């Protein structure tokens, strides 16, 4: 998996929300970080599991921890941290990519802060011993179904994009990816032989109506907080799972009359993200399409390593 910061949040009664106002270039003091959770005395303490993982992950998590400690000191919130192994680091230490103790600790925490997973060292491992398997197990174990992947081109970094300045400048896209369904988790899957003895591999792309509805609601609500435009990406001209996807998303649109909904086939969406990325505001799509499109969108900014993501459950 790419080196990126991902926040996997367990359902909370109160949502942590950090807001910082931009400071001008001539500002002589640090911008103040305000935390909504600080207003409720009963929610002053939060436990965060740190999963540095592999590659740049430990470096990223170290800095992120420092930032959270600064925020907590400013707002009087007590963050308790517990660092656990995961991914390649866990493989080297325990022989599995997601030790039971790591998952248990994460499930008991208020939030999980994940660095990066994977590396060439483990590429030839069997599937159940790959670092990425631990990531899928973590998502399933935490029941985080909504992956928010922003791609924003900052003015001072526009030259880092491989696209022309006039194409990349001002891009601000949010990809809402369904995270615990589809072809990555669908059954049946595996290896077999066909009627003439040839070896085959197979996977199943499957979605239920409730799975589509819940991710679509997250996407509509996200679009409502942004610029009011939502593009649902599918392959409804070929795939039955995508036909249901489009049907359910279209039906939900009546509950959000203030949101401009459009649909786009995934191959066209991949092209349009490079041709004219500013046409997009919020994108909602399935697991595998979201995996690909969010990485593509991140490169508009210059590097996937500069972008965070959040994986959320039912109550966050």
Annotated catalytic, 184? yes
SS (H, E, C) 159-170: HHCCCCHHHHCC
C-alpha atoms less than 13 angstroms from C-alpha of 192 in its C-beta half-sphere: 8
Q: Which of 143, 172, 278, 295 is catalytic?
A: 295
Has 78 been annotated as catalytic?
no
For this structure, is 267 an active site residue?
yes
Q: Is 235 a catalytic residue?
A: yes
Query: Pick the catalytic residue: 121, 123, 165, 267?
Result: 267
Please confirm, yes or no, whether 256 is among the known catalytic residues.
no
Q: Nearest-CA neighbor of 310 among 1, 3, 5, 2?
A: 5
Q: What angle do CA 82, 15, 171 make, to 5 degrees?
A: 100
Q: Which of 184, 207, 234, 281 is catalytic?
A: 184
Question: How many Å apart are CA 79 and CA 65, to the nearest integer?
Answer: 10
* Cα atoms in the Cβ-side hemisphere of radius 13 Å centred on 96: 10
Q: Which of 10, 130, 235, 256 is catalytic?
A: 235
CA 175 to chain centre: 8
Q: How many CA atoms lie within 13 A of 227 on its CB side?
A: 12
Which among 171, 253, 174 has a CA at the least distance from the CA of 212?
253
Catalytic residues: 184, 235, 267, 291, 295
């Amino acid at each position: 998996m790419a080196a990126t910061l991902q926040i996997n949040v367990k359902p909370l009664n109160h949502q942590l929300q950090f807001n910082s106002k931009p400071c001008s270039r001539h500002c002589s003091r640090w911008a103040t970080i305000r935390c909504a959770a600080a207003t409720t005395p009963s929610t002053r303490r939060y436990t965060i599991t740190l999963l540095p993982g592999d590659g740049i992950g430990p470096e990223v998590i170290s800095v992120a921890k420092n930032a959270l400690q600064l925020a907590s000191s400013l707002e009087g919130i007590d963050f308790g941290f517990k660092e656990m192994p995961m991914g390649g680091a866990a493989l080297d230490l325990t022989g599995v990519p997601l030790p039971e103790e790591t998952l248990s600790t994460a499930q008991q925490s208020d939030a999980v802060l994940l660095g990066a997973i994977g590396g060439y060292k483990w590429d030839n491992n069997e599937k159940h011993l790959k670092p990425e398997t631990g990531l899928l197990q973590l998502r399933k174990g935490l029941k985080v179904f909504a992956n928010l992947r922003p791609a924003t081109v900052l003015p001072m970094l526009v030259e880092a994009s491989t696209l022309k300045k006039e194409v990349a400048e001002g891009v601000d896209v949010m990809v809402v990816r369904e995270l615990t369904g589809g072809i990555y988790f669908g059954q049946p899957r595996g290896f077999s032989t066909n009627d003439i003895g040839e070896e085959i591999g197979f996977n199943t792309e499957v979605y239920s109506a409730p799975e589509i509805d819940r991710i679509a609601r997250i996407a509509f609500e996200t679009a409502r907080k942004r610029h009011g435009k939502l593009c649902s990406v599918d392959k409804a001209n070929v795939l039955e799972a995508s036909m249901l996807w489009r049907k359910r998303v279209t039906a939900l649109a009546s509950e959000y009359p203030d949101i401009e909904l459009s649909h786009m086939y995934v191959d066209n969406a991949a092209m349009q993200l490079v041709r004219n990325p500013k046409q997009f505001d919020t994108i909602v799509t399935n697991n595998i399409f979201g995996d690909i499109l969010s990485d593509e969108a991140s490169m508009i900014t210059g590097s996937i390593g500069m972008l965070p993501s959040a994986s959320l459950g039912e109550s966050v």
